[in-house]
Protein backbone atom coordinates (compact mmCIF):
# COMPACT_ATOMS: atom_id res chain seq x y z
CA UNK A 1 0.00 0.00 0.00
CA UNK A 2 1.35 3.41 -1.02
CA UNK A 3 1.27 6.10 1.60
CA UNK A 4 -0.49 9.41 1.09
CA UNK A 5 2.77 11.25 1.61
CA UNK A 6 4.45 9.27 -1.17
CA UNK A 7 1.53 10.04 -3.54
CA UNK A 8 1.71 13.72 -2.62
CA UNK A 9 5.49 13.83 -3.18
CA UNK A 10 5.13 11.98 -6.46
CA UNK A 11 2.43 14.37 -7.64
CA UNK A 12 4.55 17.36 -6.59
CA UNK A 13 7.57 16.00 -8.50
CA UNK A 14 5.41 15.54 -11.60
CA UNK A 15 4.19 19.13 -11.32
CA UNK A 16 7.75 20.43 -11.00
CA UNK A 17 8.74 18.44 -14.10
CA UNK A 18 5.78 19.88 -15.97
CA UNK A 19 6.72 23.40 -14.85
CA UNK A 20 10.31 22.73 -15.86
CA UNK A 21 9.28 21.60 -19.35
CA UNK A 22 6.82 24.46 -19.91
CA UNK A 23 9.40 27.09 -18.98
CA UNK A 24 12.25 25.36 -20.87
CA UNK A 25 14.24 25.23 -17.64
CA UNK A 26 17.38 23.12 -17.33
CA UNK A 27 17.40 23.47 -13.56
CA UNK A 28 17.48 20.42 -11.32
CA UNK A 29 16.52 21.83 -7.94
CA UNK A 30 12.95 22.82 -7.17
CA UNK A 31 14.06 26.30 -6.10
CA UNK A 32 15.84 26.88 -9.41
CA UNK A 33 12.82 25.64 -11.35
CA UNK A 34 10.65 28.16 -9.51
CA UNK A 35 13.15 30.96 -10.21
CA UNK A 36 13.20 30.03 -13.91
CA UNK A 37 9.40 29.91 -13.98
CA UNK A 38 9.26 33.35 -12.39
CA UNK A 39 11.59 34.74 -15.08
CA UNK A 40 9.52 33.04 -17.76
CA UNK A 41 6.33 34.62 -16.41
CA UNK A 42 7.97 38.06 -16.37
CA UNK A 43 8.98 37.64 -20.03
CA UNK A 44 5.43 36.63 -20.93
CA UNK A 45 4.05 39.67 -19.11
CA UNK A 46 6.45 41.91 -21.06
CA UNK A 47 5.35 40.34 -24.34
CA UNK A 48 1.69 40.85 -23.46
CA UNK A 49 2.35 44.46 -22.49
CA UNK A 50 4.23 45.07 -25.74
CA UNK A 51 1.37 43.60 -27.77
CA UNK A 52 -1.17 45.68 -25.83
CA UNK A 53 0.89 48.83 -26.41
CA UNK A 54 1.14 48.11 -30.14
CA UNK A 55 -2.60 47.49 -30.32
CA UNK A 56 -3.51 50.70 -28.54
CA UNK A 57 -1.13 52.74 -30.69
CA UNK A 58 -2.96 51.63 -33.82
CA UNK A 59 -5.96 53.53 -35.09
CA UNK A 60 -8.75 51.18 -36.17
CA UNK A 61 -11.62 51.85 -38.48
CA UNK A 62 -14.09 49.44 -39.99
CA UNK A 63 -16.47 51.12 -42.39
CA UNK A 64 -19.95 49.92 -43.29
CA UNK A 65 -18.68 48.42 -46.57
CA UNK A 66 -16.73 45.80 -44.59
CA UNK A 67 -13.26 47.21 -45.15
CA UNK A 68 -11.00 47.54 -42.14
CA UNK A 69 -8.38 50.28 -42.07
CA UNK A 70 -5.68 50.53 -39.40
CA UNK A 71 -3.00 53.16 -39.19
CA UNK A 72 -0.01 53.13 -36.89
CA UNK A 73 2.21 56.18 -36.61
CA UNK A 74 5.86 55.35 -37.14
CA UNK A 75 8.94 57.47 -36.54
CA UNK A 76 8.98 58.62 -40.18
CA UNK A 77 5.59 57.92 -41.67
CA UNK A 78 2.76 55.46 -41.17
CA UNK A 79 2.00 51.74 -41.29
CA UNK A 80 -1.31 51.46 -43.10
CA UNK A 81 -3.28 48.21 -43.25
CA UNK A 82 -6.39 47.75 -45.33
CA UNK A 83 -8.32 44.48 -45.18
CA UNK A 84 -11.49 43.28 -46.82
CA UNK A 85 -13.24 39.94 -46.72
CA UNK A 86 -13.37 39.80 -50.50
CA UNK A 87 -11.09 40.85 -53.31
CA UNK A 88 -12.54 43.68 -55.35
CA UNK A 89 -11.02 44.81 -58.64
CA UNK A 90 -9.78 48.38 -58.39
CA UNK A 91 -9.49 48.59 -54.59
CA UNK A 92 -5.70 48.63 -54.65
CA UNK A 93 -5.66 51.47 -57.16
CA UNK A 94 -8.15 53.40 -55.02
CA UNK A 95 -5.98 53.06 -51.89
CA UNK A 96 -2.80 54.00 -53.74
CA UNK A 97 -4.53 57.08 -55.18
CA UNK A 98 -5.54 58.06 -51.63
CA UNK A 99 -1.88 57.77 -50.58
CA UNK A 100 -0.92 59.99 -53.50
CA UNK A 101 -3.57 62.57 -52.58
CA UNK A 102 -2.19 62.61 -49.03
CA UNK A 103 1.33 63.11 -50.31
CA UNK A 104 2.43 59.71 -49.00
CA UNK A 105 5.11 57.80 -50.83
CA UNK A 106 4.88 54.02 -50.52
CA UNK A 107 8.22 52.89 -49.10
CA UNK A 108 7.29 49.24 -48.67
CA UNK A 109 4.14 47.26 -49.36
CA UNK A 110 2.77 43.74 -49.15
CA UNK A 111 -0.48 42.99 -50.97
CA UNK A 112 -2.63 39.90 -51.21
CA UNK A 113 -5.54 39.83 -53.62
CA UNK A 114 -6.38 36.14 -53.83
CA UNK A 115 -9.72 35.48 -52.11
CA UNK A 116 -9.66 38.48 -49.81
CA UNK A 117 -7.87 41.81 -50.00
CA UNK A 118 -5.01 42.67 -47.68
CA UNK A 119 -2.60 45.59 -47.96
CA UNK A 120 0.17 46.36 -45.49
CA UNK A 121 2.06 49.47 -46.56
CA UNK A 122 4.57 51.82 -45.05
CA UNK A 123 4.08 55.34 -46.31
CA UNK A 124 6.25 58.35 -45.70
CA UNK A 125 5.49 61.93 -46.51
CA UNK A 126 7.18 63.14 -49.66
CA UNK A 127 6.81 66.73 -48.54
CA UNK A 128 7.48 68.73 -45.39
CA UNK A 129 3.90 68.39 -44.08
CA UNK A 130 4.64 65.11 -42.27
CA UNK A 131 4.55 66.85 -38.88
CA UNK A 132 1.06 68.21 -39.59
CA UNK A 133 -0.25 64.80 -40.70
CA UNK A 134 -1.40 62.35 -38.04
CA UNK A 135 -2.57 58.75 -38.08
CA UNK A 136 -6.20 59.72 -37.62
CA UNK A 137 -6.23 61.97 -40.71
CA UNK A 138 -4.52 59.27 -42.79
CA UNK A 139 -7.05 56.67 -41.59
CA UNK A 140 -10.00 58.93 -42.36
CA UNK A 141 -8.69 59.88 -45.82
CA UNK A 142 -8.12 56.24 -46.79
CA UNK A 143 -11.52 55.21 -45.38
CA UNK A 144 -13.32 58.00 -47.25
CA UNK A 145 -11.56 57.05 -50.49
CA UNK A 146 -12.56 53.40 -50.03
CA UNK A 147 -16.14 54.34 -49.18
CA UNK A 148 -16.38 56.62 -52.23
CA UNK A 149 -14.85 53.94 -54.45
CA UNK A 150 -17.16 51.28 -52.98
CA UNK A 151 -20.25 53.42 -53.52
CA UNK A 152 -19.31 53.97 -57.17
CA UNK A 153 -18.71 50.22 -57.68
CA UNK A 154 -21.77 48.99 -55.79
CA UNK A 155 -23.69 46.60 -58.07
CA UNK A 156 -26.94 47.52 -56.25
CA UNK A 157 -26.37 51.24 -56.70
Of the CA atoms within 13 Å of residue 56, those in its CB half-sphere come to 5
Overall average pLDDT of the 15-20 stretch = 89
pLDDT for 92-136, tens place per residue? 899 999 999 988 999 999 998 888 889 999 998 866 555 567 888
- Does one domain contain both 74 and 15? no
Q: Say whether pLDDT at 56 is over 70.
A: no
Threshold 0.75, pTM exceeds: no
pLDDT for 29-54, tens place per residue? 999 999 999 999 999 888 888 776 66
Tell me how many domains the chain contains.
2
Nearest CA to 122 among 143, 137, 138, 136? 138
Domain extent for 71? 65-150
SS3 content of the chain, % helix, strand, coil (to 5): 50, 25, 25
- Does one domain contain both 47 and 83? no
Phi (first) and psi of residue 77, to 5 degrees: 125, -150
Residue 19 belongs to some domain of the structure: yes
The residue among 33, 56, 79 that closes a domain is 56
Query: Taking the mean position of all CA atoms in its chain, how far away is CA 144?
Result: 22
Element at 148 (helix H, strand E): helix 135-152
pLDDT for 63-83, tens place per residue? 555 788 889 888 888 999 998
Label residues 105-114 b or e (16+ Cβ within 10 Å = b). Answer: ebeeeeeeee
The residue among 56, 81, 100 that closes a domain is 56
Assess contact for 94 and 152: CB atoms under 8 A: no
Nearest CA to 36 among 21, 22, 17, 23? 23
Assess contact for 74 and 107: CB atoms under 8 A: no
Amino acid sequence: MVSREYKRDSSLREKFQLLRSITNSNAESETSIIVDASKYIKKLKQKVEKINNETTSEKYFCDPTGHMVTVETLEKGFMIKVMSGKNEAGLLVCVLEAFEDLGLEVVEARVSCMDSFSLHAIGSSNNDDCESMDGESVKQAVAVAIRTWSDSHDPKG
